[in-house]
Structure 1
Amino acid sequence: MSSHSETVGIILAGGRGERAKPITLKSTDYIRSKALIPFVGRRLVEWVLEACREQGIRRFYVVTQGLENRNQIKLLLGHGERYGVSISYSRSRFDRYNVGSAGATLHNLEQWDLQGQALVLPVDSLFDFDLTAMERTHREHDALVTVASVARTAAEITGKYGVMRTGPDGLVQGFVEKPGPERLAELFPSTADDPRRTLPTNAGMYLVDCGRLRLLAREPGLFRQSHQRLDWGGDLLPWLATRGMPVATHAIGRLGDLGNVPDYLETVRLVLNGEYRQMNELMDAPDDAASRRWIHESSLRIKDDDTGTTLAEKLRSGSVVVGPGVRIGRDVEIGPGVRLENVDIGDGAEIREGSTLVRSAVGESALIGAYADVFDSYVGPMVEAGSDRARPLRLEGFSAVGDGAVLWPGSRFYGVTVYPRLRVPALTGVPSETELTSAEDILRWV
Structure 2
Amino acid sequence: MSLSSKVLAIILGGGQGSRLHPLTQARSKPAVPIAGKYRLVDIPISNCINSEIKRMFVLTQFNSASLNRHIKNTYHFSFFSSAFVDVLAAEQTPHNKGWFQGTADAVRQSMHHFKKLEYDYMLILSGDQLYQMDFNDMIKKHVKNKAQISIATIPVNAKDATSFGILKTNEKDEITSFIEKPDASLLPDWTSPVSEEMKNEGRNYLASMGIYVFNRKLIETLMDDETTIDFGKEIIPQNIDKHKVISHQYEGYWTDIGNIDSFFEANLGLTDDFPKFNLYSREKRIYTRARMLPTTKVSGTNLDKTVIAEGCIINAGKIEHSVIGIRSRIDKESTVINTYMMGSDFYQSLEDIIDSSKPSMGIGARCFIKNAILDKNCCIGDDVRIKGGRHLDDVETDSYAVRDGIVVVKKGAIIPNGFTI
Give the TM-score band, short-chain normalised. 0.7 to 0.9
Amino acid at match of 1:363: M
Distance 1:327 1:169, change over 3 A: same
Do 1:162 and 1:176's aligned partners in 2 also have CA atoms closer than 8 Å?
yes
1:329 equivalenced with 2:310 (yes/no)? yes
- Partners in 2 of 1:250 and 1:174 — Cα distance? 15
Paired residues of 1:146 and 1:249 also in contact (CA < 8 A): yes
Tell me how far apart the structure 2 counterparts of residues 398 and 169 of structure 1 sit (CA, whole Å).
50
Tell me which moved more, 122-131 or 373-382: 373-382
Task: Count matched residues.
Answer: 374
1:383 matched to 2:378? The reply is yes
SS at match of 2:213: strand
Q: 1:81: how far off?
A: 5.5
- Show CA shifts across 1:203-257 (max 9, x none): 1111221222223444xxxx1413xxx211111111111x242111112222232
Give per-residue Cα distances to partners, 1:141-191, cap 9 Å, x unaligned: 212221112222122233x3211111222111122222343444564599x
- Residue 246 of structure 1: which of 236, 244, 247 is its match? 244
Pairing of 1:394-405 with structure 2 (within 5 A): 394-396=387-389, 405=399
Counterpart in the other structure of 1:357: 336
Q: Secondary structure at the match of 2:58?
A: strand
2:68 corresponds, among 66, 71, 74, to 74
Equivalent position amino acid for 1:320 in 2: T
Partners of 2:12 and 2:58 within 8 A in 1: yes
Residue 3 of structure 1: how far off its partner (Å): 9.1
Partner of 2:32: 37
Distance 2:38 2:326 in 1: 11
Segments of structure 1 that go 5 or more residues without pairing to the other structure are 27-31, 285-295, 301-310, 429-446
Inter-partner Cα distance in structure 1 for 2:4 and 2:242? 24
Q: What is the letter of the counterpart of residue 46 of structure 2?
A: E
Q: Aligned runs of 1:14-163 on 2, under 5 Å?
A: 14-26=14-26, 32-40=27-35, 41-65=37-61, 68-69=63-64, 71-78=65-72, 82-83=76-77, 85-90=83-88, 92-93=91-92, 94=96, 96=98, 98-113=100-115, 115-158=119-162, 160-163=163-166
- Give the letter aligned to residue 161 of structure 1: F
CA apart distance, 1:427: 5.7
Shift of 1:64: 2.6
1:414 to 381, 399, 405: 405
Whether 1:208 aligns to 2:214 is yes
Distance in 1, matches of 2:14 and 2:97, equals: 9
Q: Distance in 1 between matches of 2:103 and 2:111?
A: 12
Q: Deviations over 1:19-56 (max 9, x none)?
A: 11111123xxxxx1112111120222234323311210
Q: Decide whether the 8 Å contact of 1:61 with 1:88 is kept in 2.
A: yes
Aligned-pair distance for 1:266? 2.2
| C-alpha distance 109-279 of structure 1, shift in aligned 2 (>3 A) | farther
Partner residue in 1 for 2:230: 231
1:271–1:175: structure 2 CA closer, same or farther, 3 Å change rule? farther
Aligned-residue CA RMSD (Å): 3.7
| Residue segments in structure 2 that go unaligned for 5+ positions in a row | 194-198, 288-292, 345-360
Q: 1:52-81: CA deviations, max 9, x gaps? A: 112101111222326x42x44333323976
Post-superposition offset of 1:104: 1.9
The amino acid across from 1:233 in the alignment is G
CA deviation profile, 1:329-354 (whole Å, cap 9, x unmatched): 31x2222422332x221223222333
Relative to structure 1, is the Cα distance of residues 357 and 396 closer, same or farther in structure 2, using a 3 angstrom cutoff?
A: farther
Query: Which stretch shows the higher mean deviation, 396-405 or 43-52?
Result: 396-405
- Residue 433 of structure 1 corresponds to none
1-structure distance, mates of 2:391, 2:202 = 26
TM-score (norm 2): 0.76
Give the conservation status (yes or no) of the 8 Å contact 1:329–1:346: yes
After TM superposition, the structure 1 stretch with the greater mean CA deviation from structure 2, 272-281 or 96-105, is 272-281
Identity %: 21
Cα deviations by residue, 1:245-300 (Å, 9 ceiling, x for unpaired): 2111112222232221121122223445442347633259xxxxxxxxxxx86322
| Cα deviations by residue, 1:380-405 (Å, 9 ceiling, x for unpaired) | 112234452xx743234598999993
| Contact 1:406 1:423 survives alignment (8 Å) | no
Moved more, 246-255 or 109-118: 109-118
Q: Equivalent residue of 1:225, what SS?
A: coil
Q: Tell me, yes or no, if the aligned pair for 1:369 and 1:387 is still in contact at 8 Å.
A: yes
Cα distance in 2, alignment partners of residues 123 and 38 from structure 1? 12
Q: 1:349 to 1:88 in 2, by over 3 A?
A: closer
Q: Which amino acid aligns with 2:257?
A: L
Residues in 1 aligned to 2:396 and 2:365: alpha-carbon distance in whole angstroms: 20
Q: Secondary structure at the match of 1:298?
A: coil
Whole-angstrom CA distance in 1 between matches of 2:391 and 2:210: 24
**Inter-partner Cα distance in structure 1 for 2:4 and 2:137:** 17
Find the residue that maps to 1:82 and give its secondary structure.
coil
Determine if contact 1:405/1:422 at 8 Å carries over to the other structure: yes
Which residue is 2:276 aligned to?
A: 275
- Residues 117 and 272 of structure 1, relative CA distance in 2, 3 Å threshold: farther
In structure 1, what is the Cα distance between the partners aligned to 2:192 and 2:121?
A: 37
SS of the residue 2:247 aligns to: strand
